[in-house]
Structure 1
């Protein structure tokens, strides 16, 4: 149960990224935002990994999955998400991000042979419906006018890369801790991005809100959230962890209410309850009935 709570907290942290991301994209490029947040996060992670793991360098056999984590989760997902925010609304980005659990389930099935039970599939669909209710604010008919533009396609690419990131994380954390995986995926990601970012590096209006938003994405949305996510991947698996991403739009709506004065409608509260029901159906395991002989063997004499 405690790992599920960590994954809910991860979702809250990432919801803040959707709110700050739309703001940051007006100050610099999506590549620079990704590079800068991870560079700051890596500096903060170095002492953490040294204290917890008592070592910094990963074993050689972990380098390939760590490089895949860097390419998919650090670079591709963030780059395509921020790029999508340039071409479509944050609501659309939040709606498409609800497909993340499905992308993780598909990738986990292909590469890890993780299978879903009918109860889990039902929970995933119920939760997805709840997300749609939250994002559309109960106006389900508006989906008929949903416009598929370049921003939507970019976000779909981001969703696909996140499924691959979850799988790469499972392989990497066979050899390194969740802290080490987060650090080295970030370091490799920054090294990969710098040659492309430096020639076109530019900023607009480097004010206090900009640096405050960058620090949030680096500390809360990257260091804390990625460590908690990798712990969840390591402890409960990619498919189960993925279902908790459906809380992202809910927390995004709550933060928009608290920080930007947006209203929360009754339909969004109903949608939230549907999401919670779907996640519970997916994640909570039924206890296996014990056979009479097994009960006798466990009872004290």
Structure 2
């Protein structure tokens, strides 16, 4: 029961990242939000890793080439693409396209790792693709023929593709989850610092901007990670992964509460995407427990907003 509460709250926080991130994009740039998100989260994550996991830091840092690549893909590339997408598309559309990430990861695992999914998984991938296309075209296939797909939705496709590659690489990295994540976050801050200086990154200038950045740094970046990893101590990664579908549900509910409408193509596309994810994930229940970063830091074989 406690694990379920942790997982529900973690996904609620990640849903909030999409909604609050879209609000922040109205007056801030993607580099502003990305830099301050990780700059504010780096030190607490490093302290948390040292307190909870007590890692051998020298052994961890010997894996710096892989950790650096993961930081470029997952912390820097994915986050910049995500917030750039939210400048041009809605949080609900971003969450619906993001829901196809597990299917994309499975497809890349087939191409890069030689995985052999069951026929039902292939059907799930196809179903999810149809759902994403429905969202991209807003129910009008002619938009594809006329290259009328929204820029934000294309950026979101780039974001989930980047995250899929991140996940494939992270699967082979055997390090404590919080520790590896903290190192990647710290590396992202170092990498982004020169770009932030050149681009003139600024501190939040208004109360709304300040609260947005504070929320993103505290809840999606720190709180969700802690809750997710606490849950993984008492439940399997496969079971936790099923809770990720709540991101679409929570985002839709928040969107409605804020007075924004949801269209029929979004509803139908969401049903297809989630159905595809569930079919893709139908496999034998793993008997081994999660070991450090055997999969994705924080989110095994899935996605993280």
TM-score (norm 2): 0.73
- The aligned counterpart of 2:260 is 262
- After TM superposition, list the pairs within 5 Å mapping 1:216-227 onto structure 2: 216-226=215-225
How far is the alpha carbon of 1:43 from its aligned partner? 2.0
How far is the alpha carbon of 1:192 from its aligned partner? 0.7
- The aligned counterpart of 1:168 is 169
- After TM superposition, list the pairs within 5 Å mapping 1:56-71 onto structure 2: 57=57, 59=59, 60-71=61-72
Relative to structure 1, is the Cα distance of residues 38 and 166 closer, same or farther in structure 2, using a 3 angstrom cutoff? same
The whole-number CA distance in structure 1 between the counterparts of 2:9 and 2:118 is 26
The whole-number CA distance in structure 1 between the counterparts of 2:10 and 2:246 is 9
How far is the alpha carbon of 1:68 from its aligned partner? 1.6
Relative to structure 1, is the Cα distance of residues 246 and 115 closer, same or farther in structure 2, using a 3 angstrom cutoff? farther
The whole-number CA distance in structure 1 between the counterparts of 2:114 and 2:3 is 22
2:139 to 114, 138, 141: 141
**Contact kept? 2:38, 2:185, Cα under 8 Å:** yes
How far is the alpha carbon of 1:218 from its aligned partner? 1.2
Unmatched tracts of structure 1, length 5 or more: 288-301
The root-mean-square deviation of aligned C-alpha atoms, in Å, is 3.8
- The aligned counterpart of 1:182 is 181
**Contact kept? 2:71, 2:187, Cα under 8 Å:** yes
Unmatched tracts of structure 2, length 5 or more: 286-305
The whole-number CA distance in structure 1 between the counterparts of 2:112 and 2:10 is 24
- The aligned counterpart of 2:213 is 214
- After TM superposition, list the pairs within 5 Å mapping 1:1-301 onto structure 2: 10-55=10-55, 57=57, 59=59, 60-126=61-127, 141-145=139-143, 147-172=148-173, 174=174, 176-203=175-202, 206-226=205-225, 228=228, 236=237, 246-258=245-257, 260-263=258-261, 277-285=275-283
How far is the alpha carbon of 1:253 from its aligned partner? 0.9
**Contact kept? 1:101, 1:245, Cα under 8 Å:** no
SS in structure 1 at match of 2:172: helix
Aligned residues: 277
How far is the alpha carbon of 1:70 from its aligned partner? 0.5
Relative to structure 1, is the Cα distance of residues 91 and 230 closer, same or farther in structure 2, using a 3 angstrom cutoff? same
Relative to structure 1, is the Cα distance of residues 72 and 192 closer, same or farther in structure 2, using a 3 angstrom cutoff? same
The whole-number CA distance in structure 1 between the counterparts of 2:229 and 2:151 is 29
**Contact kept? 1:124, 1:243, Cα under 8 Å:** no
The whole-number CA distance in structure 1 between the counterparts of 2:40 and 2:212 is 12
**Contact kept? 2:96, 2:248, Cα under 8 Å:** yes
**Contact kept? 2:103, 2:280, Cα under 8 Å:** no
Relative to structure 1, is the Cα distance of residues 63 and 204 closer, same or farther in structure 2, using a 3 angstrom cutoff? closer
Relative to structure 1, is the Cα distance of residues 251 and 75 closer, same or farther in structure 2, using a 3 angstrom cutoff? same
- Structure with more helix by fraction: 1
CA distances 1:208-265 after superposition (whole Å, capped 9, x unpaired): 3222221221122122334638997xx648xx9877655433321111123x133568
How far is the alpha carbon of 1:194 from its aligned partner? 0.5
